[in-house]
Each structure stands twice: as C-alpha cells, then as structure tokens.
Amino acid sequence: MSFSQIKDQDVARRLLQGMCRRQRIPSGLLLWGPEGVGKTLAALEFAKAVNCESATGDACDECLSCRKTINRNHGDVLYVAPEGKGRLINVKSIEAMTEMVIFRPFEGGTRIVIISDADRMHEAAQNKFLKTLEEPPSKTVFVLITTSPRRLLPTILSRCHRIRFRALQMETVAALLQEKEGCSESRALAIAPLAQGSMMRALDLLHSDRREVVLDIVRRLSSGEDPLMISESFATHLQEKEKQIANAIKAEWSGKKKEGEESQELDKEALEALVVGRVRREAREYLRLFDSWYRDALVKTVDGDDTLVFNRDHSGDLQKNISSERQALKLAAINEAAKYIERNMQSQRVFRDLFFELSRPALKRDRATGG
C-alpha cells in the first residue's frame, strides 16, 4: 500500500517490494540518483515494510511498528546523517552506530540503518563503516542514500545492492505540487518543467522569488538596459540573500541546541564557510534558470516548437530575432559562469560579466567587432 507513495520509480519500487515480500534482504542497499526524486521516502517506506506486522511485504501504516517508524521512535530504525561545521559524517557517528548494531534488534524484527548523504562520509568513517559492512551483524540492513556513489569507496559499493532512482516525470512533479502544496494548476505547470525532474527543486522554485528575479533580468537585458545597472541591482539582491542565509543558519544551530543535540559552537569562521556553500548553491540555481531561458530561446529560434520549451508560461517573451549562433554563445557564457562559481569566484563579479555577455545583441555587431 505505501510503496505506492513512491512515484515514477517503478524498477526501484519493484526491487524493494520484492525483497520485503520474499524476506530476502541484502545487508547493504544503495539508493542512488538525483536529488529530490524519492530516495529518502523509499528508504522510509522500506523500513516500515520490512517490520510491518501485516507481513504483506508492504507497510500497513497502522500497526505499532509502522507507527513507530513514522514517528521516528522505532528502536530498530537508526538514522545517520551529516552534521557539524563541515556537514560530514564523521568517524564518531559511525562508531556510535556500530556500537548499537552489535546488539540484537530490540524489537525482535530487522534493524534498518539509514545513512543519508552517504557520500559525505569522511574517508576514515568510510573505512570504519566498511569493516561493519564486511561482517554485517545479523538481522541488520544498511540503507545508503546518495547522489554521488562515486565518492564512496569501491569496496563499499561492491558490498551494496545498488538501486537507481531517476528524475521524475514533469507530470508527476506538477501533480505533486497541486496535491501536496495546494498549488494552482497554472503555477504547477509553470514550475514543473523548470524543476527538471526534482521535487526538491520544484519546492525551492515554489517558495523562492528566484524565477521572478530571473524573468525580470532577462526582460531588462532584452530591452537594452545597461547591464551594469542590472548587475548592481542583482548584487544587492544577492547580498540580501546572503544575509537571509546567514540568519537561517544561525536559527538552525540555536534550534539544535534547544533540542539538546550535541553540537559544536558555531564560530565566525564556520558560519562563513556554511554561508559560502549555500550562496554558491543559490548562484548555481540562478544560472540553471538563466540556462533554461536561453536554451528555450535557442529551441524557439531553431524550430519554433512550444512543446519543447521549459518556460512555457512565458514562451511569447523568448527572443527569436537573434541568430542561433548568438544564442549558443549566450549559453556558453552561462556554462562558463557556472565553472567560475564552482571555482569559488566571487558571484557578484561572475554575474556582472555574464550580464554583459548576455546583453550583446545581434550577430551583425558581433562580426563588426570580431567577437
């Protein structure tokens, strides 16, 4: 019943459900694939199904075991996730977990250890974990979740049964936005294509003003406004975002303290490191939206087909009067900017250069100036 919650991942769902039904479960499972496509949800449904008292191979959501798992107080479902300044899974967390799994499952069933962002395991932690995985305690299943399996030791990978998750269908994202978020149909249909198969990205687009900001900038760029003016106002916007991010991180940390979670003091340096990481992510998401816009403009220039366009709700605003060569150059500039962001270049500067590049109009002038 509840494996049906996992949308679009038919292969993964069938594999997990089959394991539960036949009660033949490997001691290591690796759920891998892009962010926001249902891996964590699948791990939780799996944890419920394995120990469900209905013994149907799926979770009933009603028995004591299911309810405990839902409320996150099942004694045999353990969670390991990155923490602390570096957002890493350190040796200590792995040690704490391995000390627990020595004992037989408390509630008599199978113990499930869910390791989120498993690739964030520190190298020493991976080695420590490997030892446990090599001689797995009986009645224990490790479920590793990751977007980047390559960051895990090959020796860990080879001991896990790998299950791949794929990007969600656009229709699924639109339906989930309406069902779970109460989003209007038109807004859901506008966001879904831009989310590129990730529910996490869809929610992010729904709750942020990022898209409106990008639409405003491309409009100003195409109307011939001075790119310097545009980059100055965008720089102010980014600074504002940075402040919001810093405040959100501070609030998260003080919240953790109240919950009594063991946490290090958040000093200035650590705060900065966390802020830089999230600002970079923000910049990346902006670039992704710019990329989708100019990609759409190119698609429209080349074959004028609206069904292939991501920004469908604004397809009338896409500039078609520019040569495809120039459109391709714009896309290349965005790609270049993304590389600079990854190399930690200051985002204000990267975007300023990008806006200059994007504001260059027709190819005629390009030829005259040689570039």
Cβ(214)–Cβ(290) below 8 Å = yes
130 binds Zn ion (CB under 5 A): no
Q: How far apart, in whole angstroms, are the C-alpha atoms of residue 334 and residue 287? A: 7
Q: How far apart, in whole angstroms, are the C-alpha atoms of residue 179 and residue 175? A: 6
Whichever of 70 and 276 has its CB closer to Zn ion, that residue is 70
Return the range that interacts with Zn ion (CB under 5 A); candidates 49-57, 84-92, 283-291, 325-333: 49-57
Length of the chain: 371
**Helix, strand, or coil here: 77?**
strand
**Helix, strand, or coil here: 343?**
coil
> Shortest CA distance to 203 belongs to which of 176, 242, 171?
176
Q: Which residue has the tokens 């839902």?
A: 70
Strand duo 28-32 + 77-80: pairing: unpaired
* Least gap, CB of 147 to Zn ion (angstroms): 30
User: Which one of residues 19, 25, 42, 52 is an interface residue with Zn ion (CB under 5 A)?
Assistant: 52
Whichever of 60 and 215 has its CB closer to Zn ion, that residue is 60
Whichever of 61 and 336 has its CB closer to Zn ion, that residue is 61
Return the range that interacts with Zn ion (CB under 5 A); candidates 14-22, 56-64, 261-269, 273-281: 56-64
**248-267 binders of Zn ion (CB under 5 A):** none
Whichever of 52 and 176 has its CB closer to Zn ion, that residue is 52
Whichever of 74 and 241 has its CB closer to Zn ion, that residue is 74
Strand order across the beta sheet in which 28-32 lies: 77-80, 111-115, 140-146, 28-32, 161-164
Return the range that interacts with Zn ion (CB under 5 A); candidates 62-70, 88-96, 274-282, 358-366: 62-70
Write the burial class of residue 267 (CB in 10 Å: 0-12 exposed, 13-18 middle, 19+ buried): exposed
* Least gap, CB of 27 to Zn ion (angstroms): 23
Return the range that interacts with Zn ion (CB under 5 A); candidates 47-55, 127-135, 194-202, 270-278: 47-55
1 binds Zn ion (CB under 5 A): no
- DSSP assignment of 244-273, as one string? HHHHHHHHHHHHHHHTT-------HHHHHH
User: Which one of residues 1, 15, 60, 157 is an interface residue with Zn ion (CB under 5 A)?
Assistant: 60
Whichever of 54 and 263 has its CB closer to Zn ion, that residue is 54
Backbone angles phi, psi at 363, to 5 degrees: -70, -25
Return the range that interacts with Zn ion (CB under 5 A); candidates 54-62, 173-181, 284-292, 334-342: 54-62
Whichever of 58 and 296 has its CB closer to Zn ion, that residue is 58
| CA quadruple 257, 263, 269, 272: dihedral sign | negative
66 binds Zn ion (CB under 5 A): yes
* Least gap, CB of 53 to Zn ion (angstroms): 5
Whichever of 63 and 331 has its CB closer to Zn ion, that residue is 63
Beta bridge partners of 88: 83
Count interface residues toward Zn ion (CB under 5 A).
Answer: 4
Q: How far apart, in whole angstroms, are the C-alpha atoms of residue 194 and residue 200? A: 12
Return the range that interacts with Zn ion (CB under 5 A); candidates 64-72, 137-145, 237-245, 274-282: 64-72
Backbone angles phi, psi at 116, to 5 degrees: -80, 150
User: Which one of residues 5, 15, 34, 63 is an interface residue with Zn ion (CB under 5 A)?
Assistant: 63
Whichever of 6 and 218 has its CB closer to Zn ion, that residue is 6
Residues in touch with Zn ion (CB under 5 A): 52, 60, 63, 66
